[in-house]
Homo-oligomer: A and B are copies of this chain.
Amino acid sequence: MAKEATAKTAETLAKEQRAISVSEFFEKNRHLLGFDNPTKALLTVVKEAVDNSLDACEEARILPDVKVIIKPLEENVFRVTIEDNGPGIVKQQIPHIFARLLYGSKFGRGKQSRGQQGIGISAAVLYSQLTTGKPAIIYSKPDKNKKTHMVELKLDTTKNEPKILKEEDLEDGLKHTGTKIILEIQGKYIQSKHSVDEYMRQTAIMNPHANIRYENAAGEKSDWKRTVDKLPPLPKEIKPHPHGVEMGILERMAHNTDSRTVANFMQNDFCRVGSTSAEEMCRLAGIAPNAKPRELTSEQVRKLYDAIQKVKLMRPPTDCLAPIGEKMLEEGLKNETKAEFVNAVTRDPVVYRGNPFQIEAAIAYGGDLAKTQSGEVASDEAVQQPAKLIRYANKMPLLYEQSSCALTKAVQGVTWRRYGMNQPGGGLPHGPAVIAVHICSTWVPYTSEGKEAIASYPEIIEEIKLAVQEVARSLFQYVSGIRKTEDRAKRQKLFEVYIPELAGDLAHLTGEKKEKMEEGLKKFLKKNVAKIIEEGGDNGEAAKE
């Protein structure tokens, strides 16, 4: 059966060598792309498509309407349909975008977007054909006055190229501009904290400017209506900051630039480099400012690289970032949680390793969160569960790997007792609360290709802590405000109850009339009620007892 093994030589070995297509590679290593198991695979397919839809709508400045349907076909096989009202995709690009790995517009472009790699949706198509053998069906309508274009396609893994099975223009396709994709996949549908349901819920929180309709595999329909009629600002693209560039990339950029001189190259191809800085770099590197960048030797690039590190530069601009904003985050969270109190904060942008990033945090407390499933107000004990933490990176929910994520670590690193919440074992705070944390960045440092958790850079953790502390503080003020009012009533009642007791005991002790003392005490209370229940007592010093 098996081929006989014999000793090989350099010659025979050479014959076995071949190029491997990137599709073959990821076909074999699909767990790297989030298709580890059927449950996660179902989520990944939905996620990649929805992320693309939201990105496209925002870039086209269209308020998004997104529809997701998961329909069970047979055991562990589902048809997943995602439709948006975005700009659509031009005919020629459809096959490449959906059936070619490593093809896209978002790769390394110095701008914040949900997708980053140009790999996700084609991977979903690959996974679909791998597990069910079915092609992907794409509808696209870039112009609302023209017909809808429909394509059925597969991915040819040996060549990493699309293979079109069917293609036609439909009269009665999409009603408006947009894109629709249908995939049949093997998967598993569960309702847990890693489920598609939860992903949709968290997506709705982060996108209050979107209409989202969702029908899950159990046939239950959810409909999140738009609560904000304004799109978040579109992030801007920036050029790389010199302090975040590695030597090999610097060399490649120098050799591929359109600039004629090194000085120009530094000014044109990077941000935050003016003519003074550029000349300073050249001087330090011992390179003539008018040298041709394409002719730089490796040794010269190396010197330039060292010189760059020595020149002080402004931090990169941060208008490339598009946080959702305090108001919209509050809207989204309030809408979804029906909480009694919601507060959000958007911090100013900061930089790690030459990459700008920005943190947002929000907290929701009480209201429906303190109620049981049947809608009753839950007991104090029942609500003393760990708060729910929801994590976002570039507006995408992160559902897996919670414990190893920098966002989680930062939230756990806050001393919650200071804000009136229990924190048993130093973990998440306990109470009827939802905490949301969002990191946006031109280059989010995921811990793995699955984009499930954020790497623990100290700069990032510190920023998150500051953001979370801020919302925690406002929650604390709110809660203690409520408690104060309750306390006042309690205090007055307390004295009213104690007065007859004291009077009674004194009467026994002295033989004097109870009524007389009771009257005196009541009189004093009435006159001084504000002072007594506000400040707690008569004098500051003795009250310390």
Where the two chains meet, the residues of A that have a C-beta atom closer than 8 Å to any C-beta of B are 1-11, 13-14, 16-22, 24-25, 27-29, 31-32, 56, 59-61, 87-90, 92-93, 96-97, 100, 102-105, 107-109, 117-119, 126, 129-135, 140, 142-143, 157-158, 177, 233-239, 246-252, 256, 271-272, 298, 301-302, 305, 317, 319-320, 447-449, 455
Beta-carbon contact of B132 and A17 below 8 Å: no
A4 and B235 alpha carbons, distance in the complex (Å): 9
* A177 CB → nearest B CB, Å: 8
A2 and B270 alpha carbons, distance in the complex (Å): 10
* A515 CB → nearest B CB, Å: 67
A448 and B238 alpha carbons, distance in the complex (Å): 32
Q: A60-B7, A142-B10, A238-B1 are in contact. Are A102 and B252 (CB under 8 A)?
A: no
* A439 CB → nearest B CB, Å: 17
19 chain-A/chain-B pairs, Cβ below 8 angstroms: A2-B238, A2-B271, A5-B235, A5-B237, A10-B142, A14-B89, A16-B105, A17-B93, A17-B96, A17-B97, A19-B96, A20-B117, A29-B117, A31-B448, A129-B251, A131-B246, A133-B247, A133-B250, A135-B298
* A488 CB → nearest B CB, Å: 49
Interface centre among A3, A4, A126, A131 (most CB of B within 10 A): A3
Q: A235-B5, A302-B133 are in contact. Are A102 and B247 (CB under 8 A)?
A: no
A256 and B159 alpha carbons, distance in the complex (Å): 12
Q: A1-B317, A19-B102, A107-B24 are in contact. Are A131 and B92 (CB under 8 A)?
A: no
* A132 CB → nearest B CB, Å: 7
Q: A142-B10, A272-B1, A448-B448 are in contact. Are A102 and B236 (CB under 8 A)?
A: no
Residues of B within 8 A of A89 (CB): 10, 13-14
Partner of A158, one of B7, B235, B252, B298: B252
Beta-carbon contact of B130 and A247 below 8 Å: yes
Interface centre among A6, A96, A130, A237 (most CB of B within 10 A): A130
A8 and B58 alpha carbons, distance in the complex (Å): 9
A13 and B177 alpha carbons, distance in the complex (Å): 14
- Across the A-B interface, give the 4 residue pairs with the lowest CB-CB distance, nearest first: A130-B248, A10-B142, A7-B61, A16-B105
Beta-carbon contact of B5 and A234 below 8 Å: yes
Interface centre among A2, A3, A9, A129 (most CB of B within 10 A): A2
Beta-carbon contact of B14 and A90 below 8 Å: yes
A100 and B21 alpha carbons, distance in the complex (Å): 12
Beta-carbon contact of A248 and B105 below 8 Å: no
Beta-carbon contact of B298 and A1 below 8 Å: no
* A280 CB → nearest B CB, Å: 19
Partner of A19, one of B13, B88, B103, B109: B103
A8 and B119 alpha carbons, distance in the complex (Å): 21
Residues of B within 8 A of A131 (CB): 246-248
Partner of A252, one of B16, B28, B104, B157: B157
Q: A4-B236, A90-B10, A132-B247 are in contact. Are A103 and B18 (CB under 8 A)?
A: yes
* A51 CB → nearest B CB, Å: 15
Partner of A100, one of B19, B60, B157, B158: B19
Beta-carbon contact of A319 and B2 below 8 Å: yes
Q: A103-B17, A108-B24 are in contact. Are A5 and B236 (CB under 8 A)?
A: yes
Residues of B within 8 A of A238 (CB): 1-3
* A163 CB → nearest B CB, Å: 10
Partner of A305, one of B60, B133, B239, B320: B133
* A402 CB → nearest B CB, Å: 15
Interface centre among A18, A119, A143 (most CB of B within 10 A): A18
Residues of B within 8 A of A249 (CB): 27, 130
* A19 CB → nearest B CB, Å: 5
Name which residue of chain B comes closest to A252, CB basis. B157
Beta-carbon contact of B5 and A92 below 8 Å: no
A301 and B129 alpha carbons, distance in the complex (Å): 11
* A302 CB → nearest B CB, Å: 5
Beta-carbon contact of B130 and A2 below 8 Å: no
Name which residue of chain B comes closest to A92, CB basis. B14
Residues of B within 8 A of A103 (CB): 17-20
Beta-carbon contact of A133 and B17 below 8 Å: no
* A422 CB → nearest B CB, Å: 26
A32 and B89 alpha carbons, distance in the complex (Å): 31
Beta-carbon contact of B102 and A20 below 8 Å: yes
* A463 CB → nearest B CB, Å: 21
Name which residue of chain B comes closest to A449, CB basis. B32
A107 and B157 alpha carbons, distance in the complex (Å): 14
Residues of B within 8 A of A104 (CB): 17-18, 20
Beta-carbon contact of A13 and B87 below 8 Å: yes
A464 and B305 alpha carbons, distance in the complex (Å): 50
Beta-carbon contact of B298 and A14 below 8 Å: no
Residues of B within 8 A of A132 (CB): 247, 302
Residues of B within 8 A of A271 (CB): 1-2
Beta-carbon contact of A133 and B60 below 8 Å: no
* A320 CB → nearest B CB, Å: 6
Partner of A17, one of B6, B61, B105, B119: B105
Give me 5 other A-B pairs in contact (C-beta within 8 A), A2-B271, A5-B233, A27-B248 excluded: A2-B236, A10-B177, A13-B56, A19-B96, A130-B249
